[in-house]
Amino acid sequence: MRLGKYLISGSIIAATLVLSGCGNSGGKGLGRGIFAPRDNAGRVSEGTLRQRQNTPVAINRSERAKRGSIWDLFSNSDDPNVTVEVNKYIWNAALDVLNFLPIQAADPFSGVIVTGYGTPPGGGRAYRATVYIKDPALDARSLNLALQGRNGQPASRETVQAVEDAILTRARQLRIADGRL
């Protein structure tokens, strides 16, 4: 019984020593040359510091510092100019309302849906649509829609407005049905 306690205690001490050797001393202690030649003021000479910065150990340490650590995954340090957020309700509503159009490209990270030509149910004219969702808010300003006919002419403003209204209405319905208000 005592032998088991000693083994566990010894293992904990050994693990602590091994892990303490993995830490970065922040430029102090042996890594900075405690035994390096010093001048009269007690400072390490400039040439010695330069030599130590070019060693493989120092280069590896600086590369590790640039990479970061595992804890950087949990920080919210994303550049807001790079990250794009898309409202999922508007995204799904646009796919629901425009389901009669064949999808040519869809990128949920940038919020762009590009469709091919298709005729709406009960309609006689074929359209193609490009949807751009530019904001995470469930708001009319978040949605940009462009409709184009087969002749290359843009659809009338009333038609575009009616499709935008249908998408936003469906998005609100999806939001209410989600139940997480």
Q: Are residues 20 and 98 in the same domain?
A: no
Share of the chain above pLDDT 70, in %: 60
The pLDDT of 140-158, averaged and rounded, is: 92
Single out the residue in 11, 44, 74 at which a domain terminates: 74
Q: Does 93 lie in the same domain as 64?
A: no
Mark whether 48 and 94 lie in a shared domain: no
- Inside any domain, residue 82: no
- The pLDDT tens digits for 88-142 are 999 999 999 999 999 999 998 889 999 999 998 888 889 999 999 988 888 889 9
Its pTM stands at 0.55
Number of Cβ within a 10 Å radius of residue 38: 13
pLDDT at 27: 46
Bridge partners for 106 per DSSP: 113
Percent of the chain with pLDDT over 90: 38
Long-range contacts of 150-159 (CB under 8 A, 24+ apart): 150/117, 150/125, 150/126, 155/127
Range of the domain at 41: 2-74
pLDDT tens per residue across span 38-91: 555 555 555 554 555 566 666 666 666 666 666 665 666 656 565 567 889 999
